[in-house]
Structure 1
Amino acid sequence: MLRRISGILMLSVMLTISGLQAQQKRSLTHDDYDGWENLSSDRITKNGIWVGYMISPQDGDGRLEILPFKDVSKKFVIPRAQGWNFTPDDTYAVGKIVPQEDSIRVLKLKKTKKDDMPKDSLFIYEMKTGKLEKMAEVKSFAIPEKGGSWIAIQFEKEKPAKKDPADSTAKAEKPKKTDGTKLLVRSLDGSKSYEFARVKSYGFSRNGDFLHYVLAEEDTLDNAAIHLLNLSSGQSTVLHKGNTAYERVTFSPKSRYLAFLSTNDSAKSKKPYYNLYLTTTSNPKVEEVATRNSQGILENGRISNDGSIRFSENENRLFFGVAEDYVDYAYESDTTILDDERVSLDIWGWQDAEIQPMQLRNKSREEKRSYTAAMDLTDRSIAQLEDREVNNVILENKIERDFGIAWTDAPYRRAYSWDIQIGRDLYLVDFESGERTLIEKNAPGYPSVSPEGNYVTWYASTDSAWVAYDIVAQKKINLTSGIENVVFYEELHDSPSLPGSYGVAGWLAGDEAILINDRYDIWKIDPRNPNAAVNVTAGEGRKNKIEYRRITLDREEKSIDPKEKLYLTAFNEMSKESGIAEGSMNGSAPKSILMTAHRYYGLTKAEDSDEILVQRSTYKESPDLYLGDLKFKNLRKASNLNPQQANVKWGSVELVSYLANDGTPLQGLLFKPEYFDPNKKYPMMVYFYERNSDGLHNYRSPAPSASTINIPFFVSNDYLVFVPDIKYDLGLPGPSAYNCIIPGVQSIVAKGFVDADNMAIQGQSWGGYQVAYLITQTNMFKAAGAGAPVVNMTSAYGGIRWGTGMSRMFQYEQTQSRIGGTLWEKPLYYIENSPLFFMDRVNTPVLIMHNDEDGAVPWYQGIEMFMALKRLNQPAWLLQYNGEDHNLRQRKNRKDLSIRLSQFFDHYLKGAPAPLWMTEGLPAVEKGRTLKYELGQ
């Protein structure tokens, strides 16, 4: 009896404690957004001894945390650090320290001039000793990419000395006219240093044995010049001087050469001509190696300062850009015409390859277009690789072959407005001669070359197959057609276009085989005998609905050593668990190393050891950084993001399954408030955008909304949030949404804890369209939010996506809108899927957001919806953020939208008083004077 009483008392105490904890936790507010943190720029030294990462709030000052890999408790914190990195010798961490944001804000309020604002500082932190060195007024800095223990620091322009007010005869110092400032080049330990004045630009060689720097002109007395600093000897050599500009300065991979562009034309010239110069670092005598008159370059061409300069890895070849020569247009150069007399118009020609909006969008890029040429450094001969007809030569990160791949879609470009899957002609290009050999016309994929240069591969979507082109035999090989009962196209593809592939995982050494992914497994295919393909993951992926993908641990990997361990990511399509597995090239079943109810991503391995970094998250757990090794046992948490979350009502998420109206099994995500009581009735928000259930273990930060409801905010404020998956039938996007969303909602309502009289839907863009469609088909929702919705497919079909300048035709014929034909081929489909034609059925209050610089969905679509509802006397509000795009970019507007979304839905689903902006509106005469957030009575 006493034991029973004791148990009752204990239970009572536990319930009391639980109740107190519930009282202590609070709901998220809009004020919480700024302080919510994320982790980025995580790095590990090559030797695996030191780790660092940035933690940044959404608004405010961030910090850098550096710690020894073996002891996460010994963190060294550098406030306000940015742009940091470990040095190549694994000894130091370097980066900038930016001014405090609060201080910057105060100065901006005071209208402080830009030159008088606080500047960045530099830090140099020696990990072993804990010594921290800082330097003020730093404009930029650089360290070598691969080797050396050097740093170059460019300082801000020095302010001229101010006039002494006590000295009436003194004059204020006149600032010198120059773009250059002081550059300090020093060893990281400070034992050696070199200082140079009026430096405009600078850069290290890859291995840190040389540094170039360019001097700016100063008051026309000192000329621009380019210098080479030998970091071993400390000797600085003038390479060239007297020209007005030195640009695109580039070292060869092993520092044998230095190349640059230079011009002596006026800095104000609109048509400067550049020449290409080259020198060796061992004997720095500059040679002019290419001009616009050089043999081999593009006819009527010039050396382009907009093109990059690259060297081959063996340093035998130099690649540079050539542009078309300047054209003198009589109308443009006619000085007798006033600016207000000049005609300004766009002419849309039916024969144009691209429509005018797309041409205008790409105008700057086209004006800077350059065509790659290659120079043989043994005899200085030049071969033009690209021209107006074929202008896409693929130069890999490391150029190790004497040939490459080029492609052009010019013959098919005119159809791109309605066919975004146009083909391209593929060529082999000889870097020595520039000669091109056609290997495939109208290929439906993008090509790549095998590591040893024996094959060109691409995915042929028209055949749903991977193909290889044998360069020596000059024949095409179908790599996957002989594999029975397996497809290599995207199996869940449900739009009227050709499905894509699941990609490749790399090549085995010697081009012995290529690894190709299907939906779940990985196949090893020898191009010489593709019918003998081996399922590397032994079919275990498809058998268990687990997606296996190879992990690339070496970022500079050229090919795969078949004897090395094969590490795989593993994702269970049904449970959404993920982890790591170990496989082999012989086709044995993968062995699970790690499989948990988390999301893992961002895996990084130390270059010279087995230490790894990986981020891990769930809906409840921030994506903190974990440390471990390739055994993936006992991962240790290094960071501690968002400790404030412990004091906030957060909630949970669960995976739910249901059937669409046509019987298709679907999944969705159901988010529940903290302290969820199944015996209570909760208002429910429904958000959707195609398929989202794979994101079960994604962490969702409280953040101001760019367009959609912030799920953690609504869940923390005691809403259920349901996110159903949607699968589409071609030609029926609206009915498909209804057939998947409505039964999903009904399945949740059937659980008994949903207040079915207080449900709402919200979506943006494609989701906004589906919201608009659903409220014409059902009155089951108390309120709706539609962001950038297409409501009239007949008018939107002929519109422009101003962000790219493309016609919207492809959207309906091939992609997301899924009609599958032109407006004149399928007019009824366009009408029946357009909510505008059925607005008279709407009885649901709607909050629309559509902005006047939307680059994806025509702004008038939101206006058409609003005006229809206004005409029908249905409650509707249109939020139009001035100068904003499809999704809000400016944080101030995101915060505003977040407030209005929560006020709107709280009013309709929770009975909260309506804010004044809903009841009174915001007249134009009050714009900018008030926000009208105040709640009515």
Structure 2
Amino acid sequence: MRKPLLILWLFALTIQLAFAQDAPKAMSWKDVATWKSMPGNGFKLSPDGKWAAYVLTGLEADGELILRNSSDTTGQKTFPIGNTNSGNFEFSENSQWLAFREFPKFAEKQANEKAKGKPLKDKVHLLKLGTEDKKTFEGVSSYSFNGEAATHLILNLPKEGNGEAKGSDLLIYHLASGKSQNLGNVREHAVNKAGTHLAYTVDAANSQGNGLYLLTLATNSIQVLDSDEAGYQSLNWTEKGDAFAALKMKKDKKYKQDQGILLGVKNLSNPEVVLYEPAKDSTGFDRKYTISPNRRPMWSEDLTRLFYGIHPLVLAEKEKPKKEVDADSVKAEEAENLAKIMADTTIKSISDLQKAIGKLNSGKSDDKKSNDTKKPEMTIWHWNDSRLQSRQQVMENMDKNYSFWAMYDVASKKHITLQDSSMRELNLLPQEHFALGSDIQAYELQGNLDGQAYRDYYLVDLKTGVKSTLFEKFYQPSFASMPRPSTDGKKLLYGKDGHFYVFDILAKTHTNITENLPVTFINVEDDHNVEKPMQNPLGWSSDSQYVLLRDGWDIWQIPMGGKETAVNLTQNGRAQKIRYQYRFGLDEEEKGIDLRKTAYIRMYGENTKKSGIAQLNPAKKGGLAPGVNVLIWEDASIQSLAKAEKASVFTFTKEKANQPTQVYLTDASLSTPKQVTENAPDAGKFAWSAGVKLVDYVTARGDSLQAALFLPAGYVKGQKYPTVVYYYEKLSQTLHNWANPSYSGTGWNPSLYTSNGYAVLIPDIVYKLDDPGMSAVWAVLPAVDAAIKSGVIDENNMGLHGHSWGGYQTSFLITQTTRFKAAAAGAPLTNMISMYDLIYWNSGGGNMSIFEASQGRFRGGPWENWEAYERNSPIYHVKNVQTPLLLLHNDKDGAVDFTQGVEYYNALRRLKKPVIMVQYLGENHGLGKTENRKDYAVRMMEFFDHHLKGAEAPDWMSKGVPRLQLGEHLEDRAF
């Protein structure tokens, strides 16, 4: 009897152990290193929609490419692609071929790095779809198919050696025959849209054979279009692919720069080469300038004009002639000095003699500085500088390479300069009838001080080059107000004083197109210190007869003629709190919105957090018909609608907080979608959030807001869980977003925290002017109170985390409440008064404009609003802090100055408050190096595990790490 019982017991134990091994486990930070998932650009559909390909990549894992037939949900092929962060693959336009890059494996990279070997080379594989055919090319730096023709694969081979020649080998593989040909010393190459012609430039040793060439791919014939001892570059095909432009740069010893020569090629069957050499144009071209290599030349759409950049020439420094020495004069001077020394009775020692000689030498007259005189290294900061010197330093290379637009009329052989230093920006409008110019120089200084943006706008006639003023001191509270051209380039849409206007360039009339509508197009939810910021327009129709605008909820169709009235296309957005956010662009080559075609609109439920896709259909007489057809509407995040280029095959992505992003294949109706990817194939091995809850709450100032509450893995109703509260302005819209496991630059990943038993609360924060810190208090604490009522949160074990602006909110909140047991603040602003006058080093600009018109949300500077700045500065309330704080601040932070972290840390330390600051040497605002990202992610979770879960504190947290032991400490923890 005992034996059967023993067998049963062993059987039961075996089942339990097997189940335990298969049960999902909490994901550790070490697991993230080999986690494989589909990157953002990792999925593509063939032009005919019959093939789908996607890649899975990992930080320390070797990736793979998965290829499958769209109609076959079972069969697929997998190919190794080595270690990479993103995929590199391309379908041919005829959907018969797929090319992809294979990178070295992770182990190979590590071994090579350890051995300090030469750079490893990549491979490119070519697959013929529907067959087993595969060809591999070794050591390829780039590749592409030849456009629509798809008859050739063009591969650029990396240059070998360090010679002066800039060209390298170009391999052209004939897809039909399998034959290859090699073009040597190719510097640049480009194929036209049709794929019939390959333009390329040659740059060889000693400039032998340098020139501009055209290869007709069908006949394999090469024509030399121009050849010279010069550098050929900046190839630029027209959009249609019927012509191209290039530059020829010739050395000129008189100047630091090369002299530029313009080349235009059209009539490809019998190429016509247009050549313009400014140095030979003594009357039309200012000899102080030359054509710039820093702007690609381009043809006008009608092939009558060429556009290019020009910049000033700078004279080369002349070698100073050596001064001839008069030997007799030198001898006479030496004799005179010797007599003076011999007559000097004060010289009684070698030291006295040395001083006497030095005195004679110092008295020598020299009207020129000696060659070894060193100039100081310095910067002069002047109060009238329109841009801070730090900003000028950041922009130095861009300023050096700046060029002005110019135009060459082919028929008249006339050069016309289109802009100068009085108009620093110029954009050519569609069809090149006009250009829109702008300049901020008159307002740049004040704008850099207070953040309010003004600029002058001009119109330039591209037939004559004549400039006329459009606006003076035009106010732009946001980019939505800036003028944007119609698809025919003859009208401009712009926002002004809370309305949208259209300017007819030919008629020279301004028309207010929103004044009679029953809604406002002002973004009333924008709480920055700017006046009447507008909602971003959707854009112009392809025939330039309509404009589509958003009022924040619905989409409006505004006609340009007087016969029609404006129409609310979506109708129910404002009433049902649905935001019709944007139109999916399904055609990469479209010009404007084609209202003859069905429009697909992204929907988002402001209060429900649902998302989906709606359809707007064309009207019979033109434009779109009012009324939406909802195709998808789910408690999920629906995104990225796309269409096969040459077929009615559609894809979209879908994800949830605990379900990785997947791509679904469907038709134009978006009905019966089928999953076509298996993103994150190891997801089943790990435990994820049990789901989400939406929390409604009212702030202390009466605003109705929401928070996203992510349940911990293994959630059991009625149990309470340690919780981390995370925020950055408004983020409740992320309720259904999948957070792919990764080492972020801030140490935060909600999926890792919920997998490890934490609840995560992400509340919205809205702001009141002059109270950015208090606004967080007024919003976050009521959100926490409302979330506690859900029964999920353990109110005795709550932590705070935020980075940058969220780090500021964290460092401020712990001065106003003691409800949280731990807080982690990354790169926080801690003293709004001192921070105001510091520099945002990443851009070189000052912080004052950010404080007054952007995220800071203050009215005026500290001296005008001292009490508000002080009231909202964590440092002024530091004595109230009782919450243990983990502070991350890096010494090269170019956004929030390192001194902000140091100031807060020292104040807390002086008051003997529990604070630990971690600093990663050389890192910026967020962590960039993988080893640093790993380290901080682990430390932050250890910090919360100790304070919120009661885990034993590691030594670095309880005792600190002496400098002399730091190396060993870091080595022990590295993984």
TM, length-normalised to structure 1: 0.91
How has the CA–CA distance of structure 1 residues 293 and 716 changed in structure 2, closer, same or farther, with 3 Å as cutoff? same
For 1:505 and 1:18, the matched residues in 2 are separated by 58
* CA shift in 2, pair 1:531/1:355, >3 Å: farther
User: Given the alignment, which residue of 293, 306, 310 partners 2:294?
Assistant: 306
> In the TM superposition, what whole-angstrom CA distance separates every residue of 1:449-507 from its partner, at most 9, and x where no partner exists?
112333111222xx1221111222212111112212x1112232112123533322233
Partner residue of 2:601? 568
Task: Specify the code of the residue in structure 2 equivalent to 1:98.
Answer: F
Give the drift of 1:731. 0.9
After superposition, the Cα gap between the structure-2 partners of 1:634 and 1:749, relative to the gap in structure 1 and judged at 3 Å, is same
> Which deviates more from structure 2 when the two are superposed, residues 499-508 or residues 354-363?
499-508
CA distance in structure 2 between the aligned counterparts of 1:773 and 1:789, rounded to whole angstroms: 9
2:611 and 2:637 in contact (8 A); partners too: yes
Label 1:200 to 1:71 Cα distance change in 2 as closer, same or farther (>3 A).
same
Could you tell me how far apart the structure 2 residues matched to 1:103 and 1:333 are? Answer: 56
Match of 2:309 in 1: 321
Q: Give the aligned partner of residue 674 of structure 2.
A: 636
Relative to structure 1, the CA distance from residue 421 to residue 529 in structure 2 (aligned partners, 3 Å threshold; closer, same or farther) is farther
Structure 1 residues 200 and 932 mapped into 2: Cα distance closer, same or farther (>3 Å)? closer
Among candidates 638, 650, 673, match of residue 612 of structure 1: 650
Q: Following superposition of structure 1 onto structure 2, how do residues 114-129 of structure 1 map, counting pairs within 5 Å?
A: 114=118, 117-129=119-131
Task: Indicate how the Cα distance of structure 1 residues 855 and 176 shifts in structure 2: closer, same or farther if over 3 A, else same.
Answer: closer
Equivalent positions of 1:402-417 (< 5 A) are 402-417=433-448
Report the count of equivalent residues: 896
Give secondary structure in 1 for the equivalent of 2:695: strand
- Deviations for 1:370-405, whole angstroms, at most 9, x for unmatched residues? 111122222332221222111322236xx5232222
CA–CA distance in structure 1, aligned partners of residues 184 and 20 of structure 2 = 63
Out of 178-187 and 628-637, give the one that drifted further: 178-187
Match of 2:195? 208
Determine the structure 2 residue equivalent to 1:234.
220
Q: Give the Å deviation of 1:775.
A: 0.9
After superposition, the CA RMSD in angstroms is 2.8
- Paired position in structure 1 for 2:105: 100
Quote the residue 2:576 is aligned against. Answer: 544
Q: Structure 1 CA distance, aligned partners of 2:802 and 2:320?
A: 48
Matched with 1:32 is 31
What secondary structure, in the 3-state scheme, does the structure 2 residue paired with 1:415 have? helix
Q: Does 2:486 align with 1:455?
A: no
**CA 179–814 in structure 1, closer or farther in 2 if over 3 Å, else same:** closer
Q: 1:668 — aligned with what?
A: 707
Counterparts in 2 of 1:85 and 1:269: CA distance versus 1, 3 Å: farther
Q: Is the 8 A contact 1:292 1:301 kept in 2?
A: no
**1:298, distance to aligned residue in structure 2 (A):** 5.7
Measured after TM superposition, the shift of residue 851 of structure 1 is: 0.8
- How far residue 348 of structure 1 moved from its aligned partner, in angstroms, is 1.4
In the aligned structure 1, how far is the partner of 2:509 from the partner of 2:675? 53
Whether contact under 8 Å (1:848, 1:878) holds in the other structure is yes
Aligned to 2:903: 864
Contact 1:916-1:932 at 8 Å conserved across structures: no
How far apart are the structure 2 equivalents of 1:892 and 1:499?
45
One-letter amino acid of the structure 2 residue matched with residue 617 of structure 1: E
Q: Structure 1 residues 236, 562: CA separation in 2 closer, same or farther (over 3 Å shift)? A: closer
Instruction: Name the amino acid aligned to 2:257.
Output: K
Q: 1:271 aligns with which of 257, 260, 272?
A: 257
Displacement of 1:302:
1.0
Instruction: Sort the Cα spacing of 1:186 and 1:644 in 2 relative to 1 into closer, same or farther, 3 A.
Output: closer
The answer to whether the 8 Å contact 1:853/1:885 transfers is yes
Using the alignment, how far apart are the partners of 1:875 and 1:933 within structure 2?
Answer: 25
User: In structure 1, what is the Cα distance between the partners aligned to 2:828 and 2:318?
Assistant: 47
1:889 aligns with 2:928: yes
| Partner residue, 1:482 | 516
| 1:327 to 1:226, Cα distance in 2 relative to 1, 3 A | same
Counterpart in 2 of 1:816?
855
Aligned to 2:727: 688
Cα deviations by residue, 1:45-95 (Å, 9 ceiling, x for unpaired):
332222222322234322222222222333232321743211222221123
8 Å CA contact 1:88, 1:149 repeated in 2: no
- Partners of 1:518 and 1:339 lie apart in 2 by 67
Aligned positions of 1:491-570 closer than 5 A = 491-529=524-562, 532-538=565-571, 540-548=572-580, 549-570=582-603
What is residue 918 of structure 1 aligned with on the other side?
957
Contact 1:668 1:723 in 2 (8 A): yes
Say if 2:505 is the partner of 1:471.
yes
Contact 1:298 1:384 in 2 (8 A): no
Partner of 1:3: none
* Residues 288 and 866 of structure 1, relative CA distance in 2, 3 Å threshold: same
DSSP-derived class of the 1:366 partner: helix
1:243-282 pair list within 5 angstroms: 243-265=229-251, 270-280=256-266, 281-282=268-269
1:227 Cα deviation (Å)?
A: 2.3
What secondary structure, in the 3-state scheme, does the structure 2 residue paired with 1:510 have? coil
Q: Distance in 2 between matches of 1:18 and 1:815?
A: 57
The SS at the match of 1:302 is: strand
Given residue 544 of structure 1, which amino acid in structure 2 is its aligned partner? Q
For 2:319 and 2:560, locate their aligned partners in 1 and report how far apart those are by CA, in whole Å: 58
Aligned residues of 1:626 and 1:636 also touching (Cα < 8 A): yes
Residue range with higher mean Cα deviation, 550-559 or 324-333: 324-333
State, as a whole percentage, how many aligned pairs show the same letter.
Answer: 29
Distance in 1 (alpha carbons) for counterparts of 2:454 and 2:567 = 31
Report the alpha carbon displacement of residue 338 of structure 1 after superposing the two structures with TM: 5.9
CA distance in structure 1 between the partners assigned to 2:863 and 2:463 by the alignment: 52
8 A Cα contact 2:747 2:933, kept in partner: no
Long gaps (5+) in structure 1: 1-12, 160-174
User: Which deviations, in whole Å up to 9, do the C-alpha atoms of 1:135-178 show, x marking residues without a partner?
Assistant: 1122322333444422222224569xxxxxxxxxxxxxxx9774
What secondary structure is seen at the aligned counterpart in 2 of 1:623? strand
Q: Is the 8 A contact 1:228 1:239 kept in 2?
A: yes
Aligned to 2:473: 442
Partner of 1:582: 615
Distance 1:17 1:140, change over 3 A: same
Q: CA deviation at 1:350?
A: 2.0
Note the residue ranges of structure 2 that are not aligned, 5 or more in a row: 1-11, 323-367, 618-622
Q: Is the 8 A contact 1:581 1:594 kept in 2?
A: yes
Which residue is 2:359 aligned to?
none
User: Which secondary structure state, in structure 2, belongs to the residue aligned with residue 906 of structure 1?
Assistant: helix
Matches within 5 A, 1:154-233: 154-157=156-159, 178-190=165-177, 193-218=180-205, 220=206, 222-233=208-219
1:645-695 deviations in Å (ceiling 9; x for gaps): 212111122211122123322110111112212332321111111111111
Tell me if structure 2 keeps the 8 A contact 1:383–1:431: no
Q: In the aligned structure 2, how far is the partner of 1:564 from the partner of 1:288?
A: 43
Alpha-carbon distance in structure 1 between the residues aligned to 2:738 and 2:764:
18
Q: Which amino acid aligns with 2:440?
A: D
Q: Which sits farther off after the overlay, 83-92 or 181-190?
A: 181-190
Deviation at 1:330, TM superposition (A): 8.9
SS of 2:650 mapped into structure 1: strand
Does residue 650 of the first structure (1) align with residue 688 of the second (2)? Answer: yes
Q: Give the aligned residue type for 1:376.
A: D
The alpha carbon displacement at 1:193 in A equals: 4.1
Q: Secondary structure at the match of 2:933?
A: helix
- 2:579 aligned partner, one-letter code: E
What is the one-letter code of the residue matched to 2:463?
E
Secondary structure class of the residue paired with 2:310: strand
What SS does structure 2 have at the residue aligned with 1:931? helix
Q: How does 1:594-605 map to 2 (within 5 A)?
A: 594-605=632-643
1:459 partner amino acid: G
TM superposition shift of 1:725 = 0.8
Deviations 1:509-552 (A, max 9, x none): 532221111111111112344993211112x1111111123333
Q: Distance in 2 between matches of 1:103 and 1:268?
A: 50
Q: 1:441 to 1:528 in 2, by over 3 A?
A: farther
Pair 1:433-2:464 in alignment: yes
Residue 606 of structure 1, CA deviation: 1.6
Cα distance in structure 2, aligned partners of 1:96 and 1:266: 42
Rounded Cα–Cα distance in structure 2 between residues aligned with 1:808 and 1:564: 46
- Label 1:244 to 1:543 Cα distance change in 2 as closer, same or farther (>3 A): same
Larger radius of gyration: 2
